[in-house]
């Protein structure tokens, strides 16, 4: 028995609740792919808060505390300004709100690129202060020695190839990658290097479908697509995109709800009640003398 935290929806407080910690594990995710075949695709969504994690947890294998929180939560223009402190705070909240999924936290830009030693210092902080199971970092062959360094020291890693948002200033935008033969070959070699370094899974983002399929066939670990191919070993989306929280979302996103409209309509009804003084009050128990 161990303790996790469940959000009491009546009070909006996170209370420690004794519960068997039946979380999926990193090895269990890695074993989904055997002999190049993944019978049960991996379900991953992003999560940034305890309540969001609680709602998603039962349906996902992996919850990713993505640095996309920069745009989604903080209104930043990209993920580049996201700090390690932000990732720690949101990572800890997601771990508290979940008990089933493997929780992975993105390493933000500037927290791992300088050296394997820097990456270990910051990744170990993420594990210690959030309770997450592992980290995700962007980059291919250049980051393979860092991935190997982390894995050998007990830190599970998900790699990330193709469109790497932290490198948006170098890439010049968020366009699909792998259209040229040279770029396609590099994406495949990047994925192979991360696989050989010990990454237990690799996210393939914004890559033309034939290249995503080539990568999936070329590596032993599972691949998780986002704007890549249905033939990847799993899929991930930014939850707010999937729920329709924003008017404009990437073309590859399938919207399963229009939550923004629901929230706006509810706020409009509330505002109407308040302005017409139709808002219900609390029963008055105090009787003045």
Convert the pLDDT of each residue in 61-81 to its tens digit.
Answer: 999 999 999 999 999 999 999
Q: What is the pLDDT of residue 286?
A: 53
DSSP, res 139: B
- Give the CA count within 13 Å in the CB-facing half-sphere of 95: 20
Helices 181-197 & 144-152 angle (0-180, nearest 10): 20
Q: What is the pLDDT of residue 215?
A: 96
pLDDT of 237: 95
Instruction: Catalytic residue, from 205, 209, 240, 257: name it.
Output: 205
Report the range of poorest mean pLDDT among 55-59, 103-107, 123-127, 171-175: 171-175
pLDDT of residue 4: 54
Give one DSSP letter per residue of 103-129, joined into a string: EEEEPPTTSSSS-HHHHHHHHHHHHHH
Residue 251 clears pLDDT 90, i.e. is over it: no
- pLDDT higher at 14 or 88: 88
Query: Following DSSP, what letter does each residue of 153-191 receive, concatenated?
Result: TT--EEEEEES-GGGHHHHTSS--B--SHHHHHHHHHHH
Given a cut of 90, is residue 56 above it in pLDDT?
yes
- Predicted confidence band of residue 192 (pLDDT cuts 50, 70, 90): very high
What is the pLDDT, as a whole number, of residue 170? 59
Lookup result for tokens 């033939």: 231
Contact 139, 193 (CB under 8 A): no
Indicate the pTM of the whole model. 0.87
pLDDT of residue 182: 85
Average pLDDT over residues 235-245: 95
What is the predicted pLDDT for the residue at 245? 93
Does the active-site annotation cover 205?
yes
Cβ–Cβ under 8 Å, residues 163 and 176: yes
Q: Give yes or no for residue 171 having a pLDDT over 80.
A: no
pLDDT, tens digit, 9 for 90 and up, residues 146-159: 999 999 999 999 99
- pLDDT, position 183: 82
pLDDT value of residue 281: 66
Checking if the pLDDT of 128 tops 80, the result is: yes
**pLDDT higher than threshold 60 for residue 101:** yes
Residue 16 has pLDDT above 70, yes or no: no
As a whole-number percent, the residues of the chain with pLDDT over 90 amount to: 74
1 confidence band (pLDDT: 50, 70, 90): very low
Is there a contact between 104 and 135 (Cβ–Cβ < 8 Å)? Answer: yes
Of the pLDDT bands very low, low, confident and very high (cuts 50, 70, 90), residue 278 is: confident
pLDDT band at 3 (very low <50, low <70, confident <90, very high): very low
Whether the per-residue pLDDT at 2 is higher than 50: the answer is no
């Amino acid at each position: 028995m161990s303790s996790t935290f469940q959000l009491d929806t009546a009070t909006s407080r996170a209370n420690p609740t004794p519960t068997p910690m039946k979380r999926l594990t990193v090895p269990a995710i890695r074993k989904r792919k055997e002999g190049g075949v993944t019978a049960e695709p991996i379900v991953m969504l992003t999560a940034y808060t305890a309540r969001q994690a609680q709602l998603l947890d039962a349906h996902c294998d992996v919850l990713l505390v993505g640095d996309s929180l920069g745009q989604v939560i903080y209104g930043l223009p990209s993920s580049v300004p996201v700090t390690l402190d932000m990732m720690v705070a949101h990572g800890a909240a997601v771990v508290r709100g979940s008990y089933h999924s493997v929780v992975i936290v993105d390493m933000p830009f500037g927290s791992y690129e300088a050296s394997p030693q820097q990456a270990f210092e910051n990744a170990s902080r993420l594990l210690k202060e959030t309770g997450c199971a592992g980290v995700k970092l962007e980059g291919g062959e250049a980051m393979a020695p860092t991935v190997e360094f982390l894995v050998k020291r007990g830190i599970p890693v998900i790699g990330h190839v193709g469109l790497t948002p932290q490198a948006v200033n170098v890439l010049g935008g968020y366009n699909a990658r792998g259209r040229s033969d040279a770029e396609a070959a590099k994406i495949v070699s990047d994925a192979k290097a991360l696989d050989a370094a010990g990454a237990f899974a690799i996210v393939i983002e914004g890559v033309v479908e034939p290249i995503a399929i080539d990568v999936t066939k070329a590596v032993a670990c599972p691949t998780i697509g986002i704007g890549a191919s249905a033939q990847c070993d799993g899929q991930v989306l930014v939850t707010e995109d999937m729920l329709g929280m924003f008017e404009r979302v990437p073309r590859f996103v399938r919207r399963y709800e229009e939550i923004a409209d629901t929230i706006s309509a509810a706020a409009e009804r509330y505002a109407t009640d308040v302005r017409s003084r139709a808002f219900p009050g609390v029963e008055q128990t105090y009787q003045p003398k």
